[in-house]
Amino acid sequence: MNIEDYRDMIPDFEKFVARMNEPQPYWLRVNTLKITEDELIPRLEDKGFVLERFAGMNAYQIENMPVKHPGATVEHSLGYYYVQDFSSMLPALLLSPSPGDFVLDMAAAPGSKTTLMAELMKNTGTIVANDISDNRIKALAANIERLGVSNAVIVKGDATSRRFGAKFDKILLDAPCTGEGTYRKNQKERMPNLSDHIRMSKIQKKMLKNAERHLKEGGILVYSTCTFNPLENEEVVQYGVEELGLKIEKVELDIPHDKGVKSWREWSFEKVSDRMIRIYPHLVDTGGMVIAVLKK
């Protein structure tokens, strides 16, 4: 496939392509389980960091830094902040787990969203953080430890089929995907082909089906990917609505984004497109993310 396949799907396509070819800035969030923004930000600025706070949120674009990588500081080792693209914060923010909630993070490693959810939950309640990859689970454990998260249990299993033995208030399914929204960061050259998207879509549907099985009545499930192709996004969410009986929620989001895609090639996604959220690199200076908030 070629990026041109998305010309009719993505608004301001020329700007999108130009932005995809620019290096992606780093972002960070302050880990308020360990330190306040008011304490940490001046401390990093004294070291030479230039940070731009975004929309009054705990999300800072790093405009300049005195180190090669934003993780190369004592403050990072102490778990005072987490380097995370702003687009990647949104699924957890939209799931918005509360203190005391019982939450399942079905594909959790390396824990960017698990650790953000722990912060939103003020380290109370429980997060069951699952992943299938041993290596990535090591990174998940290291991040949970570094950030001082004490309400997460790590488990290893296949999210397409694993029984978790409980029903949850909230579930995050940040699904494995072809990752087109991260190509800017990695400057990858090869776009996935159609069969890659179709194969991933089938796996994602299995995961969504298993997620629905583990959600309490009235519970909220956020589905997200960091890829643009609608077969991995709108198609999966439409399956959730039509086949699993989930409802797609209307979300008010006060940051630049686009709605879902209505159709692509021979596929149509009219049932869900209006309520899906697409974050593109040329709207805020980030990677890409597509999100749906679903209710049982």
Ligand X SMILES: C[S@@+](CC[C@H](N)C(=O)[O-])C[C@H]1O[C@@H](n2cnc3c(N)ncnc32)[C@H](O)[C@@H]1O
Interface residue with ligand X among 136, 167, 262, 271 (CB under 6 A) is 136
Q: What tokens does 68 get?
A: 């090669």
Asked if residue 287 binds ligand X (CB under 6 A), the reply is: no
Closest CB to ligand X among residues 134, 217: 134
Interface residue with ligand X among 32, 123, 126, 133 (CB under 6 A) is 133
Q: Which region among 24-32, 65-73, 132-140, 254-262 touches ligand X (by CB under 6 A)? A: 132-140
Asked if residue 109 binds ligand X (CB under 6 A), the reply is: yes
* DSSP label at residue 274: G
**226 a catalytic residue:** yes
Asked if residue 268 binds ligand X (CB under 6 A), the reply is: no
Asked if residue 93 binds ligand X (CB under 6 A), the reply is: no
CA-to-CA distance for 128 and 139, rounded, in angstroms?
A: 16
Cis peptide before 25 (omega within 30 of 0): no
Interface residue with ligand X among 111, 192, 219, 287 (CB under 6 A) is 111
- Residue 152 near residue 124, CB atoms below 8 Å: no
Angle at 194 between CA 20 and CA 157, to 5 degrees: 90
Asked if residue 29 binds ligand X (CB under 6 A), the reply is: no
**Which of 218, 118, 198, 208 lies closest to 161, judged by CA?**
208
Label residues 152-165 b or e (16+ Cβ within 10 Å = b): bebeeeebbebebe
CA-to-CA distance for 219 and 240, rounded, in angstroms?
A: 14
- Residue 18 near residue 281, CB atoms below 8 Å: no
3-state secondary structure 138-200: HHHHHHHHHCCCCCEEEEECCCCCCCCCCCEEEEEEECCCCCHHHHHHHCCCCCCCHHHHHHH
Q: Tell me the closest approach of the beta carbon of residue 277 to ligand X, in angstroms.
A: 16
Closest CB to ligand X among residues 9, 117: 117
Q: Tell me the closest approach of the beta carbon of residue 128 to ligand X, in angstroms.
A: 12
For 233, half-sphere exposure in the C-beta direction (CA atoms, 13 angstrom radius) is 32
Closest CB to ligand X among residues 109, 237: 109
Interface residue with ligand X among 113, 184, 278, 282 (CB under 6 A) is 113
Q: Tell me the closest approach of the beta carbon of residue 82 to ligand X, in angstroms.
A: 10
Length of the chain: 296
The binding track of 155-194 with respect to ligand X, each residue x by CB under 6 A or -, is ---xxx-------------x-x------------------
Interface residue with ligand X among 40, 93, 107, 236 (CB under 6 A) is 107
Q: Looking at 33, 95, 109, 226, which residue is catalytic?
A: 226
Closest CB to ligand X among residues 110, 260: 110
Closest CB to ligand X among residues 130, 233: 130
Closest CB to ligand X among residues 17, 83: 83
Positions marked catalytic:
226
The footprint of ligand X (CB under 6 A) covers 88, 107-113, 130-133, 136, 158-160, 174, 176
